[in-house]
Each structure stands twice: as C-alpha cells, then as structure tokens.
Amino acid sequence: MLDTLPQQPADALLALIKLHNADPRADKIDLGVGVYRTDSGATPVFAAIKAAERKLLETQDSKAYLGPEGDMGFVHALMPYIFGASDPTLGGRIEGMQTPGGTGAVRLALALAKRAGAARVWMGTPSWPNHAQIVADLGIELKGFVHATNAGRVDMDSLRFALGQAAPGDAVLLHGCCHNPSGIDYSPEQWDEIAPLLAAKGLLPIIDLAYQGLGHGMEADAYGARRVLAEVPEALVAYSCDKNFGLYRDRVGAVYVMMERPDQLGAALSNGHALARASWSMPPDHGAAAVRLVLEEPALVADWLAELDTMRERMRQVRAKLAEAGHAGAVDLTPMGGQNGLFSIVPLSPEQVLAMREKHAVYMAGSGRINVAGLTMGNIDRFIAAVADVTAG
Ligand code: LMR
C-alpha cells in the first residue's frame, strides 16, 4: 500500500537550507528561511535564554509529563506582553495552551475553528506558504484576497471587499505584525477600521503573531491583536517564541482562545487539549521552560528586551540601506525601508530568482521573498548589484 503514495515535493523553503549548505561558494548569501542573523551572519542563542537554560539544568528535578496544555507558567507569563499588562486575561476571557512552535499554534487554531463550524478561512495573499497547506490539510475552504498593492501598500479595498463577501462564522487569518512574506503591515488606523468590520460581520479572527518585537517593539507590535480582541466576542491567537526568543528548533509556541464570557473558556479549551492529545500529545518542554524562567526574572527580561531591540535596530539599518540604494536595475528598493520584520519581497520572476542563486550565490524563496536579516554591511552591496544584474535589460 505504502508504495502507492506519490512522491511529494520537498517544502521549497526548507529545501533552500540544504541547497545553501551544499553550495561551496564562500561568498554565498542566505536570504531563505526566516531566522535572525547578526551582522556577522550568526544566529546566536539569546544571552537571557542561555542563563535560563543554565538555571533549568540546575533546578529542574523531573521531566515527568505535564499534560496536553504544556507549561502553563510559560503560557501565562507571555500574556501581559501579548494582551497588555493592565488586564492580561481581558477579565478572565482568555486562556491558552502551549504548542510545538508557531506552526503548532496555527494548526491548533485552525483545527479549533473547524471544530467550531468555520467552513471557510479568509486570508490575504501572498501569505506564509504553510498557512495554505495547513488549511488544505484540514479540509477547510480557503478564500484569498490581495494583501498588498504593487506599490507596496496594504490593499484595503481588497480586504474590505473580502470581509463584505464573508459569511458570519467564517474565520479570517490575519498576521498580527511583520507580515510574512511582504513586511507590509496594517497601520494602527487600518486595524481601527478592520476590528469593527470583523465584529459587525460575526467573523472569527485568527491572529498569527509570530514576530512580536521584531517590527516596532513588543507593545507596538501587539496593537492589531489587542484592537481586534477589544472589538469581537471570540478570537484565536497563534503565538510563536521561535523568533523573538531565538528558539527556532526548540519549537516554542502557544495558542490563546478568547471567549465572550469566562465560563465558556473551559469547554473551548478542552477541545484544544483533545486535539493536541490526538496530534502530538503534549508539546516539547525545554524551550518553553526557558522562556518562563526568563519572564520570571526581571533582570533576564531586561536582557531579553535589550537583545530584541538590537535585532530590530539592525534590521532597520539594513532596510534603510536598501531604501537608500533606490533602484537596483528594474527593482525599486525604497519601499523596503518602511516595511517591518524579517521579510520583504523583491519582485523577481522565478527565472530571476534562479539566476540570483546560480550566478550570484544568493538564496531566496521562489516568491522573491528575502530574509533581510541575512543581509549584512559586508554583503548588502553585492546583493543590490546582483538584483541589478538579473533585472538588467
Ligand atoms: C519562515 O517563513 O521562513 C519561517 O516562518 C520558518 C518556517 O517555518 O517556514
């Protein structure tokens, strides 16, 4: 039987990691998968996480099972950062559970939406390719709308039209900040318009918040999620610590459920627990325990936030340099200066993306997405020259 299974293509983004590793050219540039890099190209473990891991090693006295909800100390410690320090549970209406990374959180949020009767999910495109894969795997109908215009601005007309078409009970998947792949986020004013539209139509928002702190800072990057949650009766938030704590391979995430009333939370969450039990049973502990230890210790929190500031500042410098360059051949790099987070799209054809790789050893996603953190003051000029070269004539 198993030999009837057709060959599946490797995940294009993850395949890039291997292609890049196998390339012997010393000057190769990796702008593929979304990991932060320093100006020397490293992806170090956060100092605060290292300190927490040392503490964990010394103090952890058991690795016995926790449960499908994972480390609830971790889940709760994040809440003031996501939902606001003054009322992190919004009057007892929000509870969460730990998941294996942001992908586990998105998967669980969408599975919960499906269980609750959402037959369709609306999503701006392009989006993180795994969003559509998860939606398809769950057998939910995906309805797309255009996320951004060619001029590099949010396409609010397309969003308004989509929300107008959506039926009550449909889910809407929104990127909380640092849109992947475009880096083009909703402004606070746009969130102010979107939140009541979702509420008026009775739609279920699913907010994917995978890059908090990497756009404009922890507070500013939570604006959209908080604004939507203030307006609607029910919502789901998929959260990732993989980037803002640099824990990528440790897979650290959480999903949060907001209900209209606190007494409704238990039943809704029990479905999350059941889905988790049937999928991964319980999430990996180590990374989440390290995050909890950071968040429990004010000195480590200060250290973590300072490191996050440095990362954000470096990405701003790279973006400023891209914008300063103006045009690279046929490509206008200026909009990248105002975009947020790790990603931006260079409008290249698949052939041009291939030429970037084969001729210039620059690795980027087939969509033209680049991880701007892969650019350094040492390689950025070469990248700009490569874009100019492949788009010349
Ligand atoms: C990315 O988009 O590069 C990251 O979210 C990593 C991933 O899992 O795809």
pLDDT in tens, 189-208: 999 999 999 999 999 999 99
Which domains are delineated in the chain?
Answer: 2-45+300-391 (3.90.1150.10), 65-296 (3.40.640.10)
Residue closest by Cα to atom 4 of ligand 1: 34
CA nearest neighbour of 134 among 111, 113, 115: 111
Q: Which two tokens stand for residue 69?
A: 């909800």
Question: pLDDT digit string (tens) for 303-343?
Answer: 999 999 999 999 999 999 999 999 999 999 999 999 999 99
Structure tokens at 148: 């951004």
Over range 17-21, report the average pLDDT: 95
pLDDT in tens, 99-113: 999 999 999 999 999
| Angstrom distance (rounded) from CA 376 to CA 20 | 17
How far, CA to CA in Å, does 200 sit from each of 164, 165, 221, 242? 10, 13, 24, 34
Would you state the pLDDT for residue 23? 97
Ligand 1 contact, 342 CB (< 6 A): no
**Is the model's pLDDT at 393 over the cut of 80?**
no
Residues 280-303 have pLDDT tens digits of 999 999 999 999 999 999 999 999
Q: Is 128 a catalytic residue?
A: yes
Strand partners, 122: 143, 172
| Residue 233, both tokens | 């009766």
Q: What is the reported pLDDT for 150?
A: 84
- State if residue 180 touches ligand 1 by the CB under 6 angstroms criterion: yes
Ligand 1 atom with the shortest distance to the CA of 32? 3
Would you state the pLDDT for residue 160? 98
pLDDT tens-digit readout, 217-268 = 999 999 999 999 999 999 999 999 999 999 999 999 999 999 999 999 999 9
Q: Name the one residue in this structure whose structure tokens are 């969450």.
A: 269
The 3-class secondary structure across the chain, one letter per residue, is CHHHCCCCCCCHHHHHHHHHHHCCCCCCEECCCCCCCCCCCCCCCCHHHHHHHHHHHHHCCCCCCCCCCCCHHHHHHHHHHHHCCCCCCCCCCEEEEEEEHHHHHHHHHHHHHHHCCCCEEEEEECCCHHHHHHHHHCCCEEEEEECECCCCCECHHHHHHHHHHCCCCCEEEEECCCCCCCCCCCCHHHHHHHHHHHHHHCCEEEEEECCCCCCCCHHHHCHHHHHHHHHCCCEEEEEECCCCCCCHHHCEEEEEEECCCHHHHHHHHHHHHHHHHHHCCCCCCHHHHHHHHHHCCHHHHHHHHHHHHHHHHHHHHHHHHHHHHCEECCEECHHHHHCCCCEEECCCCHHHHHHHHHHHCEECCCCCEEEHHHCCCCCHHHHHHHHHHHHCC
| Residue 18 annotated to the active site | no
Q: How far is the CA of 248 from the centre of ligand 1 (A)?
A: 9
Mean per-residue pLDDT of the chain = 97
Separation of CA 126 and ligand 1 centre (Å): 14
Among 43, 106, 128, residue to substitute to test ligand 1 (most atoms within 8 Å of Cβ): 128
254 lines ligand 1 (CB under 6 A): no
Provide the pLDDT for residue 151. Answer: 82
How far apart, in whole angstroms, are the C-alpha atoms of residue 186 and residue 130? 21
Q: Does 181 contact ligand 1 (Cβ within 6 A)?
A: no
Q: If pLDDT is split at 50, 70 and 90, which confidence band does 159 have?
A: very high
Confidence bin at 152 (pLDDT 50/70/90):
confident
Extract the tokens encoding 114: 């499906």
Residue 388 Cα to ligand 1 middle (Å): 27
Q: Which of 30, 243, 250, 304 is catalytic?
A: 243
If you measure from the C-alpha of residue 230 to the centroid of ligand 1, how many angstroms do you get, rounded to a whole number? 29
Name the β-bridge partners of 345: 369
Residue-wise pLDDT tens digits, 133-147:
999 999 999 999 999
Phi-psi region of 64 (alpha: psi -120 to 50; beta: other; left: phi over 0): beta
Give 121's pLDDT tier (boundaries 50, 70, 90).
very high
